Structure 1
């Protein structure tokens, strides 16, 4: 094949099926010729206009749900970043030539995300298969069989819609219960010794993508404080329960262990007996204000960031081992240490803050460092708000996020 550039705009317009591009605000960015032809619309009537202004539900048909189902599908794609194939949908489509008249159409849509460089969904691909002629075929020797097929397909479509709605409601209820359980198990943010850290938790936008993350802050002997964050694999009620067990175990171990590494070794042994605890990531630190040192140990977790007053950001990544329960045998875990100066800030977080789909983790770490440096002169509370505002997607992240900032 010659090394000629492919005219993708011409390819898009020449696609044999109905395809449209929709923005996250549900506005048509483009539509190919087949989409315009089959929908009976001109380019001027579609491009740049809100999807449901172009194709509203029929106000004369209270049972019309096609457009509402389409909106729910598009919102799922935006929230999850995953492709969503819809069941066969009956639509009432207003005639472009005869306003006020509605045509019964049957479309089978599939919606898929297009990601930008930052991993966010920047466009939605809306592909539609037109099956109206198949459903509405009449006459001939197969006329009766076609009418039976039409009725069966319509019935199955309505049944699938009802099942999807019941699942959505069940997921929403489980999300509420899981969040309530998590809030009951996590410590209430408050002073630790003479210090008051800033603590934030942001749940994911997905129905069940919540409750795997936790944080913990404990007073330790001497002028010391233990700070930890962790992330359980999985979501929902099960993850919330596992999270509570591991957080409590680490909190107790930190009070009696000789350091963060030994505390993780104890919790690692415990995690082997807890179903669902395997591959949990966690990092725990011990801040000693007398010696101005931070000791730390990580079980597969993103490294804490130490923000120095001169604007340098040091990632504490010299004591990282596999997640909890990942090794068949128990072995000593590594422990690192670093010095801090008065006014520095220690930042612990979970991967929802920095990781984006199809993006190297170093990009997220650089983004965090840049945000911390820009706001290094402010107190922990506004600093936490600024970091979340800059790093989390404006429409919500697909993974929950915990963040703890301690001024040293």
Structure 2
């Protein structure tokens, strides 16, 4: 059988999406048809010219950094010979038909090296995914620029984590090392919360890779507020961890632009439909207002947070419960509720591994949690977190993973 004769120049021009070739000095050497069409430039306007002479920064946007970030990425590729995936960025383009008029664009670029026989970089492949219309659609009418940029960041995080997911699929020989690295990166220790103290714990199931779909997050909100979330993706191992990472990052971004936890979970639910392995994931999100001394919360199929009052009484925040992510065939807005708290109260969020046992009703596990909280109510968050794990988890180890966060209000 004869090998096909491939015209690689023709293949390059036919590539879907925007692709350009630049020298290590960032001068255009070639560009495919999609690049020319979507960038609104002719081949003569590009070839042999320095990239930022063709596409300068918008002078009407002082905070713009697209040119600086793109230059740094390309030079890094030329110097190291390693591929660089950039965060999604806004990079306006001047209308060639109307000088002085700039068109808003959102790009998701990847820069990759082409090396010569001596191993030195001879070309930089600049592939750009044009996502302007997607970002505009996600923002919808009336959304301010800050919200749209944060929506764009959400998209970027999901894209980066999807690439991590693909790489992890080939890492079976080093799965445990990868799992431990993922756990450390995705479940960091909580940041200082001013005068408020917090403790987090993650207890893997027996026989697991020490990584799973359980997660937690703390997000500073505008003003004196804090978002705290705990979630659980079905399953264990790297696939669950990757889905968990995408959901955690997406919710973190959504909390910063939503006007409450229900809206944040609305956005997460829509996003989860496009994340492999996110079906039936559960999550609870709380917005803590330090000035009003209130907790606003919304729950998607997750065990309710526990609020320990200074007098030892415990209430469960269960007045805004709803099915897990993706459980409904069509999107329905989620509920939210509010609860007051007194100074010195304790808020506890956790995953089902802390309370659920296959042989008993969930109310029994909730009762054990309430009793343990009351018994140890004088403990600081670190000591209380350890006491809860000691009281509630089997001494021989649990068959389900457990994530736990304790916050002194």
* TM category, shorter: 0.5 to 0.7
How far residue 386 of structure 1 moved from its aligned partner, in angstroms, is 0.6
What do residues 56-78 of structure 1 show as CA deviations (whole Å, max 9, x unaligned)? xxxxxxxxxxxxxxxxxxxxxxx
Secondary structure in 2 aligned to 1:389?
helix
Asked if 1 retains the 8 angstrom alpha-carbon contact of 2:180 and 2:210, the reply is: no
Corresponding residue of 1:349: 350
Corresponding residue of 1:229: 230
Aligned pairs for 1:7-406 within 5 A: 174-208=175-209, 210-406=211-407
Asked if 1 retains the 8 angstrom alpha-carbon contact of 2:306 and 2:316, the reply is: yes
Asked if 1 retains the 8 angstrom alpha-carbon contact of 2:198 and 2:406, the reply is: yes
How far residue 261 of structure 1 moved from its aligned partner, in angstroms, is 0.2
Q: Distance in 2 between matches of 1:389 and 1:319?
A: 29
Secondary structure in 1 aligned to 2:296?
strand
How far residue 331 of structure 1 moved from its aligned partner, in angstroms, is 1.1
Q: Distance in 1 between matches of 2:319 and 2:207?
A: 34
Structure 1 residues 186 and 171: alpha-carbon distance in aligned structure 2, compared to 1, 3 A threshold: same
Asked if 2 retains the 8 angstrom alpha-carbon contact of 1:229 and 1:283, the reply is: yes
Secondary structure in 2 aligned to 1:212?
strand
Q: How many residues are paired up?
A: 239
What do residues 11-48 of structure 1 show as CA deviations (whole Å, max 9, x unaligned)? xxxxxxxxxxxxxxxxxxxxxxxxxxxxxxxxxxxxxx
Farther off after superposition, 175-184 or 392-401? 175-184
Structure 1 residues 376 and 277: alpha-carbon distance in aligned structure 2, compared to 1, 3 A threshold: same
How far residue 239 of structure 1 moved from its aligned partner, in angstroms, is 0.3
Larger Rg: 1
How far residue 206 of structure 1 moved from its aligned partner, in angstroms, is 1.9
What do residues 68-108 of structure 1 show as CA deviations (whole Å, max 9, x unaligned)? xxxxxxxxxxxxxxxxxxxxxxxxxxxxxxxxxxxxxxxxx
Asked if 2 retains the 8 angstrom alpha-carbon contact of 1:171 and 1:208, the reply is: no
Q: Distance in 1 between matches of 2:314 and 2:179?
A: 35
TM-score for both structures, normalised by structure 1: 0.57
Secondary structure in 1 aligned to 2:244?
helix
Question: Which runs of 4 or more aligned residues in structure 1 lie more than 4 Å from their structure 2 counterparts after TM superposition?
Answer: 170-173
TM-score for both structures, normalised by structure 2: 0.57
Q: Which runs of 5+ in 2 are unaligned?
A: 1-170
Q: Distance in 1 between matches of 2:177 and 2:203?
A: 14
How far residue 356 of structure 1 moved from its aligned partner, in angstroms, is 0.9
Asked if 2 retains the 8 angstrom alpha-carbon contact of 1:186 and 1:244, the reply is: no
Q: Distance in 2 between matches of 1:193 and 1:235?
A: 35
Asked if 1 retains the 8 angstrom alpha-carbon contact of 2:225 and 2:287, the reply is: yes
CA RMSD of aligned residues (A): 1.7
Q: Distance in 2 between matches of 1:210 and 1:352?
A: 14
Q: Which runs of 5+ in 1 are unaligned?
A: 1-169
Structure 1 residues 173 and 398: alpha-carbon distance in aligned structure 2, compared to 1, 3 A threshold: farther
Secondary structure in 2 aligned to 1:394?
coil
How far residue 392 of structure 1 moved from its aligned partner, in angstroms, is 0.8
Asked if 2 retains the 8 angstrom alpha-carbon contact of 1:321 and 1:334, the reply is: yes
What do residues 184-235 of structure 1 show as CA deviations (whole Å, max 9, x unaligned)? 1223322134423111111111235841100000111111111000000111
Secondary structure in 1 aligned to 2:396?
coil
